[in-house]
A and B are shown apart, each in its own frame.
Chain A
């Protein structure tokens, strides 16, 4: 079992995912740093990814295309906001059109991955996804509303269970 923990933060629009891997930090960093390795795991089930641009450096850009089971494609972009090899990377992740250009008005997710030595040659990777978008969060923060969309979901779940 590699997944150690997962949690939806009840106070922020974030989802935290913690996994441990039986390999040293430098090796796990390679699954992000090497585009051929990255595309082996980034795509959801049945949607393999191909990275056509891969700049793992602050301000760097990534482009990828995923191909679905019926041959349909879905393209995406990353904009690297932080890269500190081999321990930390963060990026905005959004949708792109067929030419790889970011599509405006589509949700943008922010992701941050931290890699730590967990002893005995293992690595703990903590992934925090913030969604739906930075812009939306700024907008929501201005309105004083960034608290617990997930917590509302939990309340709603409880209500559904009651009734």
Chain B
């Protein structure tokens, strides 16, 4: 199956799915879309170590869903809204593909 998206390779799609398959990581994305936050502020939200939260942020970073920058002693996490929109688009493209297929089947059946 070819998932046609304008700007994502299959590897990137895979990275996106893997990144978003984790509850904590989805929660992190939801929080930083709302407002950029430091890793330590995020870490306070979860019952896990700072290092564990940092690891989740790294997975999201590799999937290009968030970016991280230094501000003094803190690491600030920001959502990449375009990447998140693209992730949404991947799901939509599956639906569009099946719409196309249903239309093709209808045309085929009309031939008798």
State the A residues within 8 Å of B (CB): 2-3, 6, 8, 13, 15, 17, 19, 21-23, 27-28, 31, 37, 40-42, 44-45, 47, 66, 74, 76, 93, 95, 106-107, 109, 125, 127, 129, 131-132, 136, 140, 143, 145-147, 149-150, 152-153, 155-157, 159-160, 162-163
Contact between A6 and B95, CB atoms less than 8 A apart: yes
Contact between B21 and A136, CB atoms less than 8 A apart: yes
Contact between A28 and B85, CB atoms less than 8 A apart: no
Contact between A132 and B17, CB atoms less than 8 A apart: yes
> Total interface residues on B, using CB and 8 Å?
37
A155 CB contacts on chain B under 8 angstroms: 26, 30
14 contacts between A and B (CB under 8 A): A2-B103, A17-B98, A19-B102, A41-B101, A44-B2, A45-B100, A106-B10, A106-B14, A131-B94, A136-B17, A149-B21, A155-B30, A156-B30, A160-B85
Interface 0/1 of B55-73, CB less than 8 Å to A: 0000000000000000000
State the B residues within 8 Å of A (CB): 1-2, 4, 10, 13-14, 17-18, 20-23, 26, 29-30, 33-34, 81, 84-85, 87-88, 91, 94-95, 97-106, 108-109
B91 CB contacts on chain A under 8 angstroms: 8, 15, 150, 153
Q: How far is the CB of B43 from chain A (nearest CB, A)?
A: 20
**Roughly how many angstroms separate A28 CA and B104 CA in the complex, as a whole number?**
12
Known contacts A47-B2, A95-B10: does B102 contact A163 (CB below 8 Å)? no
**Roughly how many angstroms separate A23 CA and B105 CA in the complex, as a whole number?**
11
Number of residue pairs A-B, CB distance < 8 angstroms: 115
Binding site of A, secondary structure by majority: helix, strand, loop or mixed? Answer: mixed
A27 CB contacts on chain B under 8 angstroms: 109
Partner of B102, one of A17, A132, A156: A17
Partner of B4, one of A8, A17, A44, A125: A44
Contact between B95 and A42, CB atoms less than 8 A apart: no
Partner of A107, one of B17, B22, B109: B17
A162 CB contacts on chain B under 8 angstroms: 34
**Roughly how many angstroms separate A44 CA and B102 CA in the complex, as a whole number?**
11
Contact between A152 and B14, CB atoms less than 8 A apart: no
Q: A41-B104, A45-B4, A159-B30 are in contact. List 18 more A-B contacts (CB 8 A).
A: A3-B99, A6-B98, A17-B98, A19-B102, A28-B109, A41-B108, A45-B100, A76-B1, A106-B10, A107-B10, A131-B17, A132-B13, A140-B21, A152-B30, A153-B87, A159-B34, A160-B81, A160-B85
